[in-house]
Each structure stands twice: as structure tokens, then as C-alpha cells.
Structure 1
């Protein structure tokens, strides 16, 4: 089937995720005839999340972060909605692949993939559709070493400027990304790019991970996190405006990109920004449950089968060690969500081959029963499976391949 997120869901399916028994029970019924580990995607929940992000962005165009989806049909269906445009890719080979059918693909991270750079430089259509991300003149040197400027199409570039907060007395708060932080540093890099033949500066990106990627309703230290995000947000609004002003004195920009699923409202309110990026909010990994500003539907999930009962209150499922990237903490584990009340064992966690789950609900589970999990981070689930079962209520209405299912393993 072709995904159409404009199509209205059946009334019986509308926001049934508010009732876990009904939602996960229907999901179980829908995939009852599918064996083994199953990844499922609820179309009504996906549609809700896509439209909710448009509301949160308040009319600001949203660029889809493909890293957080990794399902081409979902990316295409989202881009078909008015208000979404363009893709933020995570590797250059992926960007080149997507640029075969999309004309606006920005690479979200610098690349040193010489083979992919050579392919980009030799293809004028791809070079017109793909924008590389840079934060250091050494990255331009690498491109020139692969394909000298007189022998290739002009390469579109965007600068990734550091959006972390250098807090007085606290130091660096956020992630370590770009080495250019201050307006003068970014402007200096922009001048160097403008003076280099074979390149064209067209964009600027600033991703505020300490706001977009940090939940403020997790139940632990929320007051401190909210204070940090208010202060950081205020500082960023002023500094980003100064950076954009400085760069546009050197080169006109096609876009100024910012934000993520967790900061759509804040970033969209910044008049210096022309677009926001989001992707995680579509599939909604469980890390996004800890935000005050929005409440996403659990669109993507996977189920594993019980294969043994080592104790009356323990059920062991086959598989489960699908750990999300980031710090090796409990929140990066998949969360068992149905039946309710199951927890991983503190000494075992989610295992590579099997995962024991303890709780009163385990007493009613039998060999062959299913347990539903939600992955911590959205797109990484797609790396584990070849396809998602598409679910509408208690019916399985089709399948859609992941990148892996299309034979693509970019990273």
C-alpha cells in the first residue's frame, strides 16, 4: 500500500493509545499471524504525530531527519504533507541515494567518505540537490583532494555552528559538535568558504541538543533542567541572530536550520531561523515521553515471543538487546510496555539473545505469548528489522521496508 498521512483514520482507531489495553491488544491481534520478532507501525499514531509536529512548529517548515526514521516510505509520506520539506540525511551515501528522488537533501554531519565525495563531485544533478555540512576548513581540503575544483561541479555547503551553552561558572552544557561557537568564528569560516573556488555557502545549522534532546518531565532534576533550558534558550536566541547576521553579510543563505523534535516551539519562535528539523517525533521512541510540551503517540513498537519461564514471575523473551546509542544507562534500553508491569532484570538487562522480564504480569504469560517493547530512540529500531508491519487498529494492512530491508546499511 502507499502511505497517505492525509487520509482520515477510522473513528474507532482515533487515539486508542490512551487506553493501553485496547491499543496493545489490537496491535497483538493485528500481527497474530506473523512469526518471530515483529516491528509494527500504527498508521493512526504516525499520522497524529506528523500533524501534531506541524501544529507545534506554528507554520515553520519542517525538514525531516531521516536518521530518526530510516524507512523511505515514511519519509516520503511525511514530505507529502503541506508544511514539510527537505531531508536532513546522516551519511553522504544515504544523501546520494535519497537525492535520486528528492531535490533538497542536507547532510546533517561532516563527511570524510572519499568514495561518496567522488560520486557527488561527478554528478551535477546530485551536486545541485545535496548540501554538505562543514565546520572546519580541513573538510574543504578533503573534498578538493578527492576532486579538484576545476574538475567537478560546485559543491553546496552549510556551516554547522555550535549551539551548546557556555554557562557562566558551569562551562559547556550540550553536546560537542562544531568548533565554531561565536559569531566571529562562524563569520571567519564563512569568509574562507566564500574565497574558495568550487564551493558555495548556502546554509547554516545550529542544533540545540541541550534543549531538543533533553526531557524536562522525567521526574528527576526537572527544575534544574527547565532552568538550564530557559537560560540556554535566551542566550541562543541572541547569539544565533548575531551569527546569521554576520554570515549573511558574506553570503546570502538559502536556509537557517535549527531545533529538533523536542524544541519545535522554541526554535520556530526564533526569527533568524527559516526551518526546523524533526524526525524522532514521528515514530516516537520512549525517550520522548519525558517532555512537558508534547505527548507523542507510540507509533512504532516491536514485540518478542516468550520462549521460557525460569520462575513463575519471570518470562523470558527471545532477543531484546536492541540498545539505543548514547550514554550506557538504563533509559537507553527498550522499554517493555505490554503487558504492563514487566521490568528487565538489573543484572541482565536487555540481552543479545534473550531477555528475562520480571513482574506480576509474567505469571499469566505462556510460551508463545508476545511482549511489546518501545525502543528508546526512534530510527535505530529500523536498523534491527527488514520491514515494519503497518497496522490500522486491529488489522494488518501492509508492510513497508526499512533501509535495511532495501539492502542499505549506511551506518
Structure 2
């Protein structure tokens, strides 16, 4: 066996089988490129599901992390640290909000959002205790905790994991009439992704998010936008909601907020919403730790320049144009927004296509069987982006796969 095969065999023998990785063992990354343990190079067209918006080993972010590592990494929230206040204030300002509640993972931030909505519903809206309802949508992906999968319609997420948490009403994504019909006096919030990334970059119909905003305002409900994947520059705007000229009551953020260095997430909202919490009612040992806040602040300051958003918008136009030349017989639909795309295949299996891309030096991911999801780092070059899509076209055209050249 090759070294790679040996490493894969060892990993699979000692790791719980909740993932099925492609057969590659990665060792080093810089910018939009990764190298495996045998020295082969790959263009990253997934960027950690968007957690690596700024690419691998970004020098500026690494410098911030190294400096903080040498000073202080963790205190717990039993004490103040000299990084958290700046991070929360600057993140809130970026979102046009007043407060941030830092956590670690996207799922933790969503759980925090659910707790926030329920507590707000009881304290502010006056819903009877334990009667609060949150409206969610079909095709959602907000994480994998038991409460979150309680309102998933993906059988892989729910089979043999019950019993589930009550209090959620699911309606079709994009159907404002169905959402309106689901509202009652106990409805405290609507939770949705402005763009459904895990499902394959599914965009809402025109006017949908604006109607959701109007319904939430009219019925005294919180509009909660899960922008863990879509936020922080990916779509060409700081937040995907901006494309619809909508401001939610709560932003749920994560992934790219940690700069691809460590998990950082946050719930960002107004004072009258996050202010419902009292000491001891919610928390996290690592949430808001100095290292996370230092890196998160550097990410926020980069986003304040507007450069990542501009680059995502400009390269998004390149990506859209390049994808339009894919073999029409092999593709039923292509959806793009910013530097993010979902490519629906006519036939075949997305996993097989990703294996073909791997042979050609491109890393991508299949979503829901026949969809290829592309989300390259925002630092990818235009030439490399075009090259990556060319490899996809060749795989779809069933041209023989070859090892990728070392692109520098």
C-alpha cells in the first residue's frame, strides 16, 4: 500500500464512521491550495464549508493567533478578559446591532438562538410558559444536536435519534403563505437560512425574505437569520440578508468568524433581545475565550474594509460565467451567489464526480446526492478558479482523469 492508503486505513480503523471522507490525507495548506502527505497539490473548492473564507494559513490571522497564544488563551467567563469586549462591540457594529453573545460552534449558536427566542417570547411577548413555538422551514440545516435535528426533514439526521424536542412548526422554504398560515399567538420566532447552503445553495424566491421580515414585524415575532454559512462575505455582501435589503432581529454567525483557525460563533442582536438573559442562565466554558476573540476581531476588521465582499462579488461573476459552459447534457441547474454555487447533475452521483475531481487535483463536496457544492476561499485567484471549473467540466464530460500539476 502507499503511504496515503496506510494512513487512510489507520484513520478509518480508529475513527467513528460518521463521515465518509474522500481518499486523500491532507498535510499542509496555503491560500486556496492544499498538499497531501505525498506532496500532491489540490485546489480547495470547498474551504471547510465556508469556514476558510480567507484561505489556509492566512499570515495576518495567524500572526494575531500566535501573539495571543503567547499571552492568554482561556480564562472562562467567570472573569473578564481584555479581548472579549472589543470583539463583541465590533461584531455588533458590523451587524448593525447592539450586543453579541459569543459561543464556539454554529450549532451552539443556533441552540443559543432558540433559547433566546423562547425566553424573549415569555418575558417580552408574554407567551404562556412552555407554549412558545418557532417556525422553521423544509430543507433546513442548522446543525446536528438533538434539538436542532428535531425540526430537520432529512432522514439521515433523524433516524434512530429520537425522541425529539417539541415546539417547532415546519413549513416549505420560500412559501410565504404557508408561513403566514402557521403563525398563532404562541409563535415567537421564525428561524431560517437566507440561502440554504447544505441543501445545495438554494436561493429564496424574490421577495420572500422581505415578506418574512414584514410578517415577523406585524405579528411581534423575531426573524432569526442563520448566516453561519452564508454570512461574512461569502455571497458578495457581509450578510446574505442584505441582498434582499432585510435586517433580521438576530444574526447567527460562525464558520468564517474563526478565520479557519479555531471554532468561533456568535449570536448578534439588539439589547432588548439578548438582554433577556441573566447571569447563570446560559454560558460556555470556551465561548468568548481570548484566543477566539482576538482572531474574531481580526476577521471583523478585515470585513469592515469591504475587500472580501468585493472580491467575492467579482469572482462570483467569474464563477457564474465559467459554470455556464459546463456540458448542458450533464447539468440540470446551476445556482450561484457571490463565490458560492450549487451544480445539479442530470444523472449519476455527486460523490463519483468529486472522486473524479480529486484525481484532477480539485477538492469539492457533494450535497444531497446529485448536487456539487462549490465554495472556494475568497482569496482564490481568477486563473485558479477558472482552472477548477475546467476540471469539473472535464469530469462531467468523462475525460480520463490525470494527476494535477503542481500549480504555484
Normalised TM-score (structure 2): 0.31
Q: Which has the higher contact order (CA 8 A, sep 6+)?
A: 2
Higher strand proportion: 1
- Larger CA Rg, structure 1 vs 2: 1
